[in-house]
Structure 1
Amino acid sequence: MAKILLKYLWIACLLTQSCAAVQPQANPDVKVVTAEGQAAINKSAPLLAKKQALQDAIRQASMQGSVNVHSQTLIDQNNVSIDAVSMRTAAAVNNTKILKEWTTDNIYHVIATVELSADNSCSPHYRKRIIATGFPLANQGQMSAHETQDLHTGIPRELNNLLMESGNFIVSNSANINLYPRPDLAPELQDRTAYHPSKLMQIAASNGVQFVLSGVIRDLEVESTEYISGAGPLAFARSLARDVIARRGIGIDVYVHDGFTGALIFQQRYVDTVIGDVWIPSSYTVGSERFNSTSTGEKITQIIEQASNDISRALSCYPFTTRIIEVKDNQVFIEAGAQERINVGDQLVVYSSTGEDLNVDGGMSFVGRDKQPTGVLTIINITPRYAIGRLEVPARELGIRVGDWAKSW
């Protein structure tokens, strides 16, 4: 009887164009919600309005999941000066399906089903490009001259390898580049130059990547062997033991920046302790069997594996973004193709520049140009390295230029 009632409620939702009906599903961690969204049709671009209406439906559906609500009220001279409410959904969107769509009075409407995952992870459709830069040591004195010098480049190299093996990333390696002249101040970049993009954004643009991976080795300190309290044979034995059995702290910070905006989107510190033979011989390289056979190397490898999993999870729901590399009449070439799993028929939202360059801090920090969604690009041809798409409105009318962005919504 309950199933029959639920079926009639589902039909009623479709007929009345109402939202917030939940479908039954086998997986208890996935909640399927039906919601309605709408958006205005501007510049004779119904495809863009459809995308925006679907995004509105996703937003409405997400509010049916786990929502954190924060309110703020300020009173000034017995009057309410600020009364604000903000909401943030904790569920992740996995799949969407449009059930019905129509237009009325230049407004695009959609009714869609939205899958919300309670574990806050997504199944990425596109492979995202990421480049790894070096992990400098915050205190050079913590590494002996007789130990391996491969950590600076080896940790990001192995992190990249694991991300590539996940199948969801295309990786590049520039571990010889150090983003942090002052590692102790990371993740601050310290390269602010008036009216110029940051070094990080330049690296992303020149290598055609979406994300920039970086980090700092915060701690590799070995417990001091210089002073042992007490005297006699026991203190002498303890002093000798310190040369063989010691305690070493390990602390590694890992960062991921959005190469298009320069925003820091992932930051995590990993710490551990090693007791025993804590030294890593100079001939050992990160990722090798001999490196993993050492106590310190084994812990660092475990941190690399954990960081790889955390990054994959954090970026799984992040939209795929690529750059426009050529505009010819109504055809737009993007810097992504079959390698990124782009397919003929895929649709990406194009973000074009509006206004002048944005600078803050008295002009010392370059932010970029404001990007606004202006059209939808439908892919008509693909190659391994790039793809060609067609806009519903000519590019010149939308002001789309080389360097603008194409993004999965």
Structure 2
Amino acid sequence: MKILISVLLALVPTLSLATVLEGVGHATIQENNLDKARAEARKAAMRDLALQYDARISARDEMENGELVTSTTEMSAVADIRNATVVDEYRSGNLLRVTVRGELSEAGSENCKAGKASGLRKRVAVTGFPMVDTAQGGNRSVDDAGEKLPQALVARLQQRGNMQVLGSSRLQLFERLPDAPTSRSNKAANQLTNVVQVARELGAQFVVSGVIRDIGLADPTAWGSSIVDKMQRGIGFSDTERRFEVEMMVFDGFSGAAVHRQRFVTSADWEPDGNGSGGFDSAGFEKSEWGQAVSQVMDQMAMEVSSTLNCQPFMARIARVDGNKVTLESGATAGLRPGDELAVYRSQRYFDALGATPELKDAGVSLTLDNVHPDFSNGTMPSDGRQINIQRDDIAIIW
């Protein structure tokens, strides 16, 4: 009897009725490559997690002339897994065992049920990801990570094709990096004011930013130039791993509020010369184990941004109001079409809190688009804008 096992795993931003389980995976260490064995064991543990949560078994027998010639059993599992972490690692000789704990739910059971807004291309700006400790670089392959990481993230988001992506990798959003995205001394300086200003200047609905909190070597002395250091590296006695920890934030550009915040952590073997030392996310970057690990993190970051924005409404700023005629700062490039209807919301602030987040209040009217151009569109409301106090900088929304 032949047994086929296939598992589909998906990392999702939100879960409903998640179940916490532990899975165990094994792998054989070949040629003293512990990192590769660790990755294989973790993958096997993830399969074990999914199969524990939802295993589906089907059998198929083939008969010829009344005799059984083949018997195949297929086992599959479809589960959403989040916050998967390694809780135990044990090595016995060349055998490695890894235990992973994660939150599981049925695939497709996200709390977010995207409506019409999911078919529109929201505009998102990606700013720089500066390093908290620039002294951790010290090599041309990592010194430019603060600019190269957001550039790589922009490329990944553009490939998805479901959003309009603007890159501004040299723009640093936070003044105090260790406290990002907030500062005790001046909360507005690190959260609301500059996020809204950047979103307004770039014409973005969302702003993605973050900080690289750790990019240091596990053992900085492992790369000494002495004969002893070289011998220890050659026989695997030195810890040559480099860490990578990045925190990413997704902000709503109209209010400055954070709609998603997540840390990503990885580490892998790193080489200062050759095998991907041409620069962060360069052509040879993924030739190194550390480059591959970081690239996987950036893939996950892009997926989280896409999933987060998919759960958000589409919002367009009103540029002009003339009677019942309205012009929006979004058009065909965002996916808007003539006949689309958007709910109109008034954006208002109170005199005793002018620097606070603007409050959106449903105006109780809808806007129907008549003409759509690449970067703007025109529509009409059933009432005169002056009668219901609709003016420039108010918002039109599709949920």
Which bracket does the TM-score occupy, shorter chain normalised? 0.5 to 0.7
Deviation at 1:278, TM superposition (A): 5.8
Q: How far off is 1:224 after superposition? A: 2.8
How far apart are residue 146 of structure 1 and its match?
Answer: 4.2
Structure 1 match to 2:252: 258
The corresponding residue for 2:219 is 224
Amino acid at match of 2:296: Q
Residue 152 of structure 2 contacts residue 281 of structure 2 at CA under 8 Å; is this kept in 1?
A: yes
Q: Identify the residue that residue 47 of structure 1 maps to in structure 2.
A: none
1:382 aligned to 355, 363, 372, which one? 372
Q: Is the 8 A contact 2:271 2:277 kept in 1?
A: no
RMSD, aligned α-carbons: 3.3
**Taking structure 1 as reference, are residues 243 and 281 closer, same or farther at Cα in structure 2, changes over 3 Å only?**
farther
Change (3 A) 1:172 1:146: closer
Partner of 1:214: 209
Residues 269/378 of structure 1: CA separation in 2 closer, same or farther (3 Å cut): same
1:179 matched to 2:173? The reply is yes
Q: CA 1:235–1:335 in structure 2 vs 1: closer, same or farther (change >3 Å)?
A: closer
Identify the match of residue 319 of structure 1 among 313, 316, 341. Answer: 313
Structure 1 residues 189-219: Cα deviation after superposition (integer angstroms, max 9, x where no partner)? 676569x961110010111110001011111
Cα distance change, pair 236–330 in 1 and its aligned pair in 2 (3 A): closer
Partner of 1:367: 356
What do residues 93-128 of structure 1 show as CA deviations (whole Å, max 9, x unaligned)? xxxxxxxxxxxxxxxxxxxxxxxx623453711100
* 1:140 corresponding residue in structure 2: 134
| Counterpart contact for 2:157–2:302, Cα < 8 Å | yes
Corresponding residue of 2:110: 119
Q: Which residue of structure 1 lines up, in the alignment, with residue 391 of structure 2?
A: 401
Distance in 2 (CA, whole Å) between partners of 1:348 and 1:217 is 38
User: What is the Cα deviation at residue 271 of structure 1?
Assistant: 0.6
Matched, 1:288 2:282: yes
State the shift of 1:287 in Å.
3.5
Does the 8 Å CA contact 1:158/1:286 hold for their aligned counterparts?
A: no
Deviation at 1:153, TM superposition (A): 1.2
Give the conservation status (yes or no) of the 8 Å contact 1:244–1:276: no
Q: Look up the match of 1:331.
A: 325
Aligned-partner SS, 1:367:
coil
Structure 1 position 145, deviation (Å): 4.5
Are the equivalent residues in 1 in contact too, given 2:276–2:284 (CA < 8 A)? no
Deviation digits for residues 6-42 of structure 1 (CA, Å, limit 9, x no counterpart): xxxxxxxxxxxxxxxxxxxxxxxxxxxxxxxxxxxxx
Alpha-carbon shift at residue 159 of structure 1 (Å): 1.0
Distance 1:239 1:293 in 2: 19
With over 3 angstroms needed to count, the CA separation of the structure-2 counterparts of 1:225 and 1:318, relative to structure 1, is closer
1:205 to 200, 204, 207: 200
In structure 2, the partner of 1:86 is none
Return 5+ residue gaps in structure 2 as ranges: 1-15, 19-107
Q: CA deviation at 1:282?
A: 9.7
Report if the CA contact (8 A) 2:276-2:285 is conserved: no
CA distance in 2, matches of 1:350, 1:170: 22
Pick closer, same or farther for the CA change 1:225–1:163 going to 2, 3 Å: closer
Paired residues in the alignment total 288
TM-score of the superposed pair, with normalisation by structure 2: 0.65
Percent of aligned pairs with the same amino acid = 28
Superposition deviation, residue 294 in structure 1 = 2.3
Is contact 2:211–2:247 with CA below 8 Å preserved after alignment?
Answer: yes
Distance, in Å, in 2 between the alignment partners of 1:138 and 1:206 is 26
Aligned residue for 2:386, secondary structure, equals helix
How much does 1:397 deviate? 0.7
TM-score computed with the length of structure 1 as normaliser: 0.63
Equivalent residues of 1:280, 1:297 under 8 A apart: no
Shift of 1:241: 6.7
